[in-house]
Amino acid sequence: MQLQSGIGAGDNTSPRDFVEIIKVNSKRRVDLEILDNDGEFIDISEATLPTGEPDGLLELSLTSLGETEVFSESYWPNPVPSSRRIQKLSTGNYYVTLGDEDNETSETGTYVANWTARINATSEEMYSTGVIEVVSSRILSLLPRLRLQIDRSWKLVDLSAACFLGVTNAMLVLFLRSALEMINGYQPSAQFYNLDAFPIEQYAEILIKAATYVALESQMLFALDTDVQGYSVNGHSYQLLHQTPLASYLGQLRAELDSRVPKFKLHLVQSGTCKVSYNIGYAFSALLSASPYGANFRGLYTSR
C-alpha cells in the first residue's frame, strides 16, 4: 500500500511534493491518495470485524511545529459519519479542508499533517507526513519574481511522465525560507525570524538572489545525477554537462552574496551608545582625605 499526501493534479503540481501552500485566512484542501501494491486507487474498508474492531483505518493529526494539536480526526471508525471533516472525493482519494474552523489559517506558520491508514485488518498500517505552509500575500508577491529569476525556459512538473524539472510554488516558498536562513547566518547579528519580518519593500532583491543560489544549488545536484559524458551508441556520441557551468555561476553568486549580505545587514544594526561616569567610592574618598594639600590627580580632581 502507498500513501501520497499533497496537492492534487488540479494545481499542476506533484502530490509527491509533500508541501502545500495556503494563503492566510483562506480555505484549502489537504489531500491524501491511497494506492494498493499494483498502484491502483483503493478505499479503506469501512466494515466492522466480529470482534467489534474496525477493519480499515484512516486518521489525521494536524499539529504545529511546537507540537500543539490543531485538530485530529478519524474518518473510520467514526460513530457519527455526518460529522466527518475528512471527506472521500473518489476511490482512494480523501481530503480535509483547512480553514473551515475559526483561526485555523489566521496566522502564518507551518503545520504538519500526519496521516495513518490501513486498508483492512490484514494489511499493514502506513504513515504519511505532509508539510503545510500558511503564507501571507507579502510572500506570494515574491513568487513571480523568483520564478522569473530561475525558470527562464519552459520546465514542467509532469507527474504522469515522471518529469520533475520545473519548480512549483511550494518549492519557491521553501527556497525563500532557505534563503532567509542563509541570510541570518551572516554577521552582523540582525535576525529575521520569518519571511514576513523581512523588509521586502526595500531589500527584496537580495532575498531573491539568495533564493536563486539555493534553487540553483538544488539544480546542480540534479545535474550531477543526470549529466552524461562521452556517451556513444551506433557510432553517434553526445554529452550533457550542466554541472560545471552551474558550479561556476554558483561560485560567482556566492562571492556576491558574501560581499553584499553583511553590508545589507549593517543597515539594520543600530549603533549603540555608552555613557561612563565617575563615582567616588570609599577607597577613593580615603585616598583624597590622605592626600596632601595641592596634590593633583590628572584629569580628575585637585585636592587642596
Alpha-carbon gap, residue 41 to 92, rounded angstroms:
5
Residues in the chain: 304
My answer on whether 6 and 124 are in the same domain is yes
Alpha-carbon gap, residue 84 to 76, rounded angstroms:
9
pLDDT, one tens digit for every residue, the chain (304 residues) = 556 665 443 333 334 446 889 999 999 888 888 988 888 899 999 999 999 899 999 999 999 988 989 889 999 888 788 889 999 999 999 999 998 888 889 989 999 999 999 999 998 888 888 889 999 999 999 999 999 998 877 777 776 676 777 788 888 999 999 999 999 999 998 899 999 999 999 999 999 999 999 999 988 888 888 888 877 888 788 788 888 899 999 999 999 999 999 999 999 887 666 666 666 677 777 777 788 877 777 666 554 5
Which sign does the torsion angle of CA 74, 80, 84, 87 carry? positive
Rg (CA), the chain: 30
My answer on whether 127 and 148 are in the same domain is no
What's the confidence (pLDDT) of residue 15? 40
The answer to whether position 67 is within a domain reads yes
Alpha-carbon gap, residue 106 to 23, rounded angstroms:
9
Q: Residue 52's domain is classified under what CATH number?
A: 2.60.40.10
What's the confidence (pLDDT) of residue 57? 93
Q: Which three cell numbers stand for residue 93?
A: 482519494
The answer to whether position 279 is within a domain reads no
The answer to whether position 72 is within a domain reads yes
Parent domain of 9: 2-135
Q: What's the structural domain count of the chain?
A: 2
